């Protein structure tokens, strides 16, 4: 069962927090009373106009009235009003600026393989309400939308998801060496890993089957003159090798020379494709544009990410470089572990990658479990310590339907 | 503790000329997000436990003012129209992701340069190319340059004796771009020259009683933080932690739960001030660095260690102060954001 939370923050209040002003004029009170008891629409409108004109005397003039036509005013002379006037407005019920309180529905969601554990939002109403509470300038407690600035749907009625942290971790595994995720922009469902800005540009090319076919042709062909890697790129490749822990950290002479050889071939191949040139000439910053601590000239990073995002190319490369393949067989040591049935089984035709969703961490009161604030599929923006049995995330799925992704159990 | 730091910062500000600055203490759920003013420096002091919520704090405050909400509505409209146009013209296929991605980038730019930065050519979203046409003037083209795209949107001619006025004068290169270009120009005109608050969040902690830390040592560190950080960018978050060697040896950093969540927010460069190098052996210093950094998130050796040269201080055990930028969801000092990407 889902939980609904009413926000005291609606669009009108969001636009102007400070515009409420005290109204202690008895005349206004009388008019408002008359408005409530007006028997005809004509009378209702007449009193509305009187009330509005009186309130306009001390207006904060915060924004244009949205419906001057209802008050029979010319639209080129729109009066400036404030939220106090809107509170007493006779047209309030129909005005789009005066939206009703917004409702956030919270639905429980668990990974289907999470040992049968599901989270029921209705068991944690108090904890969930905590996520929305804030104090305004007058120290009054109000219910805000905590995802303002993180979600385009903030301050709109929508559904959020309460998911156990362990479910999120299981559903969206990542390469073990991806630990600095601050600037990762999304998650690749096909290869089960985080993606960075440069990856998005590479993926856009790799998702073109014609280009993949051309790449394969170039890999197996003899038209390309292979060049050795530059010292800069060689150093970069070695650093990536260490960072990724390829070949289980073993760096035998044969392995390292096979690694150098295969990447010099691949870099030579992709250099012959104009499509990759634009990516390579854009300067890349380590940990911001890609997951590595070193960039080199840019070509090696593209080559590595290409193989990591399209593992079939690595297999193809090995197939056509049998001498090197012998030493590179176990290079991507965690590729199959990550993909081990799970992401293949859960692979979706709907989309290849998803954004990193903003999330609020509900952390048990006493426990200080090892929650990672930057997750491959979401970024924790806020934390609340609440009475809850295990860490959970309140996720705003942006405009993306989580139900489109397989592997979830809806509570 | 926060009160003491507040008093010392205010005293420092009192002697410092420049923009008026307010110092406020906030703690969980107490952000008065509607207290916006224009062109002022503001410092928010928060307990270190709040650092996990740094992204929320920073963005909530920066995006809650009236002007920003209006700007946001216009920008969202531009994004929606651009997304549709790019899909129609087959520049992108996944509009949802593109929308999310560019919105993220805009949030980054806004935090660093304010909303006016979003429509400044050369920021990674729009670009401008200018070609001198002899005897005529400058033929200028406005591009969408986000995410590897380089799509011309509008053109204008600036006469030799004329000067460009923002984006005024640009005309869409095709009729289906007219609405987008008009919106770009009107939004750009509405935000040009606007002044914004400069907001700094300072997350503070002391592993020992703050009264035991010599005031001139605190002042020295506060001066450094104020001079190098506060008010330098539009929105910035920083941490400041005091402690002594005993608090490290007794593993109080760990008992204070820094090891689990809070230190995941620390970003390089890490700065360590020592009240004296006496008593800090290489081993204890390494242990201190090790405990401050998250055991898994290692940014490389980006430590700056300095000794406070004041012979009046003779702390036993020696004290330290640690400061570092805090990850608040914004690359406020990133050269990538300001269009000056680098290769390392």
Q: Can you read off the two tokens belonging to residue A231? A: 């010292």
Give the model's confidence band at B117: pLDDT under 50 very low, under 70 low, under 90 confident, else very high: confident
A136 touches chain B (CB under 8 A): yes
- As a whole number, mean pLDDT of residues B281-289 equals 82
pTM recorded for the entire structure: 0.80
* Residue B59 pLDDT: 84
Q: What is the pLDDT of residues A126-164, one digit of tens each?
A: 899 989 988 776 777 788 889 988 888 887 888 999 999
* Residue A260, pLDDT above cutoff 80: yes
Give the model's confidence band at A9: pLDDT under 50 very low, under 70 low, under 90 confident, else very high: low
For the beta carbon of residue B175, count every other beta carbon within 10 angstroms: 7
B32 touches chain A (CB under 8 A): yes
Respond yes or no on whether ipTM tops 0.95: no
More confident residue, B326 or A58: B326
Q: What is the pLDDT of residues B4-43, one digit of tens each?
A: 888 888 887 776 655 667 777 776 555 555 554 555 678 8
Give the model's confidence band at B343: pLDDT under 50 very low, under 70 low, under 90 confident, else very high: very low
B301 touches chain A (CB under 8 A): no
- As a whole number, mean pLDDT of residues B228-242 equals 84
* Residue A31, pLDDT above cutoff 70: yes
- As a whole number, mean pLDDT of residues A104-113 equals 83
* Residue A87, pLDDT above cutoff 60: yes
- As a whole number, mean pLDDT of residues A181-191 equals 88
Out of A17, A374, A382, the one facing B56 most closely (by C-beta) is A382
B26, B37, B38, B53: which to substitute to probe chain A, counting the most A Cβ within 10 Å? B53
* Residue A347, pLDDT above cutoff 60: no
Q: Can you read off the two tokens belonging to residue A200? A: 């998005």
A290-349 residues touching B, CB cutoff 8 A: 293-295, 297-298
- As a whole number, mean pLDDT of residues B71-95 equals 87
* Residue A350 pLDDT: 63
Q: In this structure, are residues A83 and A16 in contact, taking their beta carbons and an 8 Å threshold?
A: yes
**Contacts with A185 from chain B: Cβ below 8 Å:** 101, 104
Query: Which of A25-29, A90-94, A150-154, B309-313 has the lowest average pLDDT?
Result: B309-313
* Residue A247 pLDDT: 85
* Residue A141 pLDDT: 79
B109, B148, B300, B334: which to substitute to probe chain A, counting the most A Cβ within 10 Å? B148
| Cβ–Cβ below 8 Å for A382 and B55 | yes
A62 touches chain B (CB under 8 A): yes
Give the model's confidence band at B250: pLDDT under 50 very low, under 70 low, under 90 confident, else very high: low
* Residue A117 pLDDT: 64
* Residue A367 pLDDT: 64
Q: Which of A303, A238, A297 is nearest to A270 (CA)?
A: A303
* Residue B228, pLDDT above cutoff 70: yes
* Residue B338 pLDDT: 35
User: Interior CA angle at B317 toward B314 and B321, to 5°?
Assistant: 85
Query: Which of A258-272, B107-121, B215-229 has the lowest average pLDDT?
Result: B107-121
- As a whole number, mean pLDDT of residues B104-126 equals 79
Out of B59, B96, B265, the one facing A400 most closely (by C-beta) is B96
Residues sharing a CB contact under 8 Å with residue A68, sequence separation 6 or more, in sequence order:
A74, A75, A77, A78, A79
More confident residue, A347 or B79: B79
| Rounded Cα distance, A289 and A196, in Å | 6
Out of B56, B147, B344, the one facing A146 most closely (by C-beta) is B56
Q: Can you read off the two tokens belonging to residue A343? A: 């992401």
* Residue B85 pLDDT: 93
* Residue A229, pLDDT above cutoff 60: yes
Give the model's confidence band at B62: pLDDT under 50 very low, under 70 low, under 90 confident, else very high: confident
Tell me the domain boundaries of chain B: 2-62+197-325, 66-191
The winner for highest mean pLDDT among A128-137, B172-181, B272-281, B288-297 is B172-181
- As a whole number, mean pLDDT of residues A358-377 equals 87
**Contacts with B59 from chain A: Cβ below 8 Å:** 148-150, 381
Residues sharing a CB contact under 8 Å with residue A144, sequence separation 6 or more, in sequence order:
A7, A8, A9, A132, A133, A134, B33, B60
* Residue A393 pLDDT: 95
Q: How many CA atoms lie within 13 A of A30 on its CB side?
A: 5
| Rounded Cα distance, A72 and A63, in Å | 18
More confident residue, A207 or A267: A267
B80 touches chain A (CB under 8 A): no
Q: What is the pLDDT of residues A377-409, one digit of tens each?
A: 999 999 998 998 889 999 999 878 777 777 777
Assign 3-class secondary structure to chain A: CCEEEEECCCHHHHHCCCCCCCCCCHHHHHHHHHHHCCCCHHHHHHHHHHHHHHHHCCCCCCEECCCHHHHCCCCCCCCEECHHHHHHCCCCCCCCCCCCCEEEEEEEEEECCCCCCCCCHHHHHHHHHHCCEEECCCCCEEECCCCCCCCCCCCCCEEEEEEEHHHHHHHCCCCCCCCCCCCCCEEECCCCEEECHHHHHHHHHHCCHHHHHHHHHHHHCCCCCCCCCCHHHHHHHHHHHHHHCHHHHCCCHHHHHHHHHHHHHHHHHHHCCHHHHHHHHCCCCECCCECCCCCCCCHHHHHHHHHHHCHHHHHHHHHCCHHHHHHHCCCCCCHHHHHCCHHHHHCCCCCCEEECEEEEEEEECCCCCCCCCECCCEEEEEEEEECCCCCEEEECCCCCCHHHCCCEEEC
* Residue B231, pLDDT above cutoff 90: no
Query: Which of A25-34, A170-179, B37-46 has the lowest average pLDDT?
Result: B37-46
B261 touches chain A (CB under 8 A): yes
For the beta carbon of residue B83, count every other beta carbon within 10 angstroms: 18
**Contacts with B25 from chain A: Cβ below 8 Å:** none
Q: What is the average pLDDT value for chain B, to the nearest integer?
A: 79
B297 touches chain A (CB under 8 A): yes
B260 touches chain A (CB under 8 A): yes
Q: Can you read off the two tokens belonging to residue A61? A: 């003039």
Q: What is the pLDDT of residues A121-131, one digit of tens each?
A: 889 998 999 89
* Residue B174 pLDDT: 92
Q: What percent of chain A has pLDDT over 90?
A: 26
| Cβ–Cβ below 8 Å for B261 and A355 | no
What residues form DSSP beta bridges with A103? A6
Instruction: Give the position of tokens 């609904």.
Output: A4
Q: What is the pLDDT of residues A199-210, one digit of tens each?
A: 988 988 888 889
| Cβ–Cβ below 8 Å for A355 and B66 | no
For A147, nearest residue in chain B (alpha carbons): B56
| Rounded Cα distance, B78 and B84, in Å | 10
| Cβ–Cβ below 8 Å for B29 and A179 | no
Size of interface A-B (CB pairs under 8 A): 141
**Contacts with A355 from chain B: Cβ below 8 Å:** 97, 100-101, 104
For the beta carbon of residue B39, count every other beta carbon within 10 angstroms: 11
Give the model's confidence band at B341: pLDDT under 50 very low, under 70 low, under 90 confident, else very high: very low
- As a whole number, mean pLDDT of residues B101-109 equals 81
| Cβ–Cβ below 8 Å for A179 and B342 | no
* Residue A262, pLDDT above cutoff 70: yes
| Cβ–Cβ below 8 Å for B100 and A398 | yes
* Residue A20, pLDDT above cutoff 80: no
A382, A384, A385, A393: which to substitute to probe chain B, counting the most B Cβ within 10 Å? A382
Contacts of residues A199-205 at CB distance under 8 Å and 24 or more positions apart, as own/partner, are A199/A290, A199/A305, A199/A309, A200/A353, A200/B97, A200/B101, A200/B147, A201/A278, A201/A279, A201/B147, A201/B148, A202/A276, A202/A279, A202/A302, A202/A305, A202/A306, A202/A309, A203/A309, A203/A352, A203/A353, A204/B148, A205/A275, A205/A276
**Contacts with B32 from chain A: Cβ below 8 Å:** 135-137
A5-44 residues touching B, CB cutoff 8 A: 14-18
Q: What is the pLDDT of residues A176-185, one digit of tens each?
A: 889 899 889 8
Q: In this structure, are residues B107 and B59 in contact, taking their beta carbons and an 8 Å threshold?
A: yes
* Residue A268 pLDDT: 93
Q: What is the pLDDT of residues A278-311, one digit of tens each?
A: 888 877 888 888 999 988 888 999 999 999 998 8
More confident residue, B192 or A192: A192
For B262, nearest residue in chain A (alpha carbons): A373
* Residue B323, pLDDT above cutoff 90: yes
Q: In this structure, are residues A132 and A7 in contact, taking their beta carbons and an 8 Å threshold?
A: yes
Query: Which of A371-375, B179-183, B253-257, B269-273 has the lowest average pLDDT?
Result: B253-257
| Cβ–Cβ below 8 Å for A289 and B336 | yes
Query: Which of A80-84, B5-9, B257-261 has the lowest average pLDDT?
Result: B257-261
Q: What percent of chain B has pLDDT over 90?
A: 21
Q: Can you read off the two tokens belonging to residue A188? A: 């690749």
């Amino acid at each position: 069962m889902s939980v609904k939370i009413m926000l005291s923050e609606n669009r009108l209040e969001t636009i102007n927090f400070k515009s409420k002003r005290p109204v202690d004029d008895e005349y206004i009170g009388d008019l408002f009373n008359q408005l409530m008891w007006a028997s005809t629409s004509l009378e209702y409108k007449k009193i509305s106009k009187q009330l509005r004109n009186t309130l306009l005397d001390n207006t904060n003039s915060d924004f244009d009235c949205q419906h001057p036509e209802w008050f029979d005013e010319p639209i080129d002379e729109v009066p400036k009003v404030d939220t106090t006037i809107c509170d007493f407005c006779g047209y309030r019920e129909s005005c789009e600026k005066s939206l009703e309180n917004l409702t956030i529905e919270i639905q429980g969601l668990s990974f289907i393989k999470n040992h049968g554990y599901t989270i029921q939002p209705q068991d944690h109403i108090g904890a969930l309400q905590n996520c929305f509470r804030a104090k305004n300038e007058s120290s009054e407690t109000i219910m805000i939308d905590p995802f303002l600035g993180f979600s385009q749907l903030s301050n709109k009625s929508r559904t959020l998801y309460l998911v156990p942290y362990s479910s999120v971790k299981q559903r969206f595994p990542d390469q073990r060496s991806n630990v600095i995720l601050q600037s990762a922009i999304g998650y690749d469902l096909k290869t089960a890993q985080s993606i960075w800005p440069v990856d998005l540009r590479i993926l856009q090319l790799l998702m073109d089957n014609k280009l993949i076919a051309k790449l394969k042709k170039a890999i197996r062909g003899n038209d390309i003159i292979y060049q050795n890697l530059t010292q800069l790129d060689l150093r970069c490749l070695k650093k990536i090798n260490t960072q990724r822990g390829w070949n289980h950290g073993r760096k035998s002479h044969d392995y390292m020379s096979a690694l150098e050889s295969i990447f010099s071939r691949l870099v030579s191949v992709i250099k012959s494709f104009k499509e990759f040139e634009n990516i390579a000439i854009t300067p890349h910053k380590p940990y911001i544009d890609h997951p590595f601590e070193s960039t080199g000239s840019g070509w090696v990073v593209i080559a590595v990410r290409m193989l990591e995002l399209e593992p079939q190319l690595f297999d193809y490369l090995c197939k056509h470089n049998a001498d090197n393949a012998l030493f590179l067989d176990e290079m991507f040591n965690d590729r199959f572990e990550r993909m081990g049935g799970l992401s293949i089984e859960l692979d979706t035709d709907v989309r290849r990658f998803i954004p990193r969703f903003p999330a609020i961490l509900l952390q048990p009161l006493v426990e200080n479990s090892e929650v990672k604030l930057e997750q491959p599929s979401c970024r924790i923006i806020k934390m609340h310590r609440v009475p809850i049995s295990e860490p959970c995330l309140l996720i705003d799925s942006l405009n993306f339907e989580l139900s489109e992704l397989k592997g979830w159990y809806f509570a | 503790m926060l009160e003491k730091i507040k008093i010392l910062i205010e005293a420092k500000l009192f002697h410092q000329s420049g923009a008026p600055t307010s110092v406020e203490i906030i703690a969980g759920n107490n952000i008065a997000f509607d207290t916006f003013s224009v062109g002022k420096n503001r410092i928010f002091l928060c307990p270190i436990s709040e650092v996990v919520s740094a992204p929320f704090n920073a963005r909530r405050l920066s995006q809650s003012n009236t002007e920003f909400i209006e700007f946001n509505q216009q920008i969202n409209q531009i994004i929606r129209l651009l997304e549709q146009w790019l899909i129609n013209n087959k520049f992108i296929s996944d509009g949802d992701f593109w929308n999310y991605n560019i919105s993220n980038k805009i949030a980054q730019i806004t935090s660093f340069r304010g909303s006016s930065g979003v429509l400044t050519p050369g920021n990674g979203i729009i670009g401008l190319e200018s070609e001198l046409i002899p005897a005529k003037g400058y033929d200028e083209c406005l591009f969408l340059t986000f995410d590897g795209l380089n799509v011309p949107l509008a053109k204008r001619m600036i006469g030799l004796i004329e000067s460009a006025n923002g984006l005024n004068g640009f005309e869409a290169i095709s009729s289906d771009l007219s609405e987008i270009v008009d919106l770009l120009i009107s939004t750009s005109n509405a935000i040009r020259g606007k002044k914004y608050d400069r907001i700094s969040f300072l997350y503070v902690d002391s592993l020992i009683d703050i009264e035991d830390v010599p005031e001139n040592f605190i002042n020295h560190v506060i001066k450094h933080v104020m001079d190098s950080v506060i008010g330098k960018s539009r929105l910035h978050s920083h941490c400041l932690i005091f402690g002594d060697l005993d608090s490290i040896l007794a593993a109080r950093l760990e008992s204070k739960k820094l090891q689990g969540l809070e230190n995941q927010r620390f970003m390089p460069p890490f700065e360590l001030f020592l009240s004296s190098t006496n008593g800090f052996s290489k081993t204890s210093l390494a242990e201190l660095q090790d405990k401050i950094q998250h055991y898994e998130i290692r940014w490389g050796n980006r430590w700056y260690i300095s000794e406070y040269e004041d012979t009046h201080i003779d702390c036993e055990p020696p004290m330290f102060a640690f400061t570092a930028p805090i990850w608040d969801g914004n690359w406020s000092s990133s050269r990538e954001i300001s269009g000056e990407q680098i290769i390392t």
